[in-house]
Amino acid sequence: MGNIQIVNPANGSLVSEVHNHSVQECVAAAEIASTAFTTWRKTLPRQRGEILRKAFDIMVAEQEALAELIVSENGKVLSDARAEVAYAAEFFRWFSEEAVRVDGDLRQAPNGTNWLAVTREPVGVALCITPWNFPAAMATRKVGPALAAGCTVLLKAAHETPLTAYAIADILKRAGLPDGVLQVITPDPPGDAVAALLTSGIVRKLSFTGSTRVGSLLLSQAAGNIVNCSMELGGNAPFIVCDDADIDAAVDGAMIAKMRNGGAACTAANRFYVHTQVLDEFTSKFVKRMSALVVGDGMASTTTLGPLVSAAQQSRVSSLVERAIAEGATALCGASATAAPMHGYAATVLAGVQQHHSIVQQEVFGPVAPIIEVQDIEESIPLFNGVDHGLVSYIYTRNHGRGMRLAHALETGMVGLNRGLVS
C-alpha cells in the first residue's frame, strides 16, 4: 500500500512518512488490543493513574518539541501549538486523578429487603478517531479517559497529522504503558478499515470527532454490533452581536472565537449575526483586526495566521468564499489564497451575506467570517438555530437577563455569554 507522506503545509517539504495500515493489519491490531485488555482491565486504578500522571509530566517537559512537531504537520502558528500541548497534557493530568474515582452506587430495592449494587466496568477495546485540527488535544482527550477506565485503545489518527499521535503513544510507553494497550493505526483511505473494525465484534466503544456526514455513516456501521458511540460532530457556531453589546469586547471575542487555530476548530464562530444599529461599528473594527493578521510559516515569529492543513482544505475554503461572492456577498478583506507550495488563506470578512448562502449552511473550518445583518435579535432566533449545528453559540450583550434568555433559546450544548472561548 505504500507509506503516507506527511507534508509541511507552509512550504510543501516532506516532513516524514508513516506506514499505511491495511484492513488486515488494523483488525490484527484490534485482536492484540483485545488480548491486552484481559490484563489491563485488572491493573490497579492507582497504577493506571500514575502512568497517566507521568505522561503528563513528560508532555510538559517536552512541550516545545511537541509544539514544533504539530506546526510541521498541521501548519498552525507556534503559539497555538504550544497552547495545544499544554491543553492536551491537562487531559492526562485530569484523568490520572479520575482513574481512582470510578464510582458505583448502592441502593435499597423498592421491596425494602434487597439491595441493588451498580458497578462500572471497562467496556473493552475503544476505537478513537481523531481529526487533524487538534492532533494532540483530541488524542489525549479520548485516550486519557479510556486508559483511566481500564480500556485498551486503537487510536486512528488523521492521515494529515499522524506524527503527533505517534509521539503521544511514545510518551505513554515511556510513562510505563504496557505493549498492546495503545496502538496507533493510520489506514488511508480509512473507510474500509474502520468499517471492518466496527463490524469485527472486537471493538466495543467508538469515540469520533469529525464531520456530521462521516459521523452518521459510522453510527450506521456501529449499529450492527451495538457498539457504544460518543461523537462530537459539526460546529457551525453562530456569533450574535446584540444592539446593546460592548462592541470592543465583541470584536475581541470574535477574534478568539473565529481565529483560534486559524478558524479550524469545532467551536469556531462561523456565522456572525450583527444587529443593524451596531453593524457598521462592529464590522469596521473587526475588519481592521482581521486585515492585520499575517499569513506565513507557523514557525516564523512574524506569522499570526498559519496555513491550512492541506491543498484540499485551501481549495475548499477558496471555493466557499468564491461561491459566497457569486451569491451576492462582498469581501471586505482577504478572499485570497497564497501561492503554492504554501496552503495559506488570508483572513476574510464577508458582508452582505444571507442566511441561504452556502457559506452559512456549511462549516467553514478556515479564516473566513460571514456577517449577516439582523433587524431584531429575538425574532432572528430561528436563523440562529436554522442550520445543522449543535455544539456552541456565542452571544454579546450588556443585559445579562437578555443573554440568559437567548442562551436558553439557542439549540446548542454550550453558550459563550460575552466570552469568545468556551473550551
- Positions marked active-site: 232, 266
Q: Can you tell me the distance from the alpha carbon of 354 to that of 373, in angstroms, rounded to the nearest whole number?
A: 8
Q: What is the DSSP string of 122-187?
A: --SEEEEE--SSSTTHHHHHHHHHHHHHT-EEEEE--TTSHHHHHHHHHHHHHTTPPTTSEEEE--
DSSP characters over 268-286: -EEEEEEEHHHHHHHHHHH
| Number of C-beta neighbours around residue 174 at 10 A | 12
What values do phi and psi take at 396, rounded to 5? -125, 120
* Whether the Cβ atoms of residue 80 and residue 182 lie closer than 8 Å to each other: no
Contacts of 223 (CB under 8 A, 6+ apart): none
Q: Which three cell numbers stand for residue 198?
A: 466496527
Structural element, H or E, at residue 415: strand 414-417
Residue 406, H or E segment:
helix 400-409
Using CA atoms, how far apart are residues 294 and 228, in angstroms rounded to an integer? 44
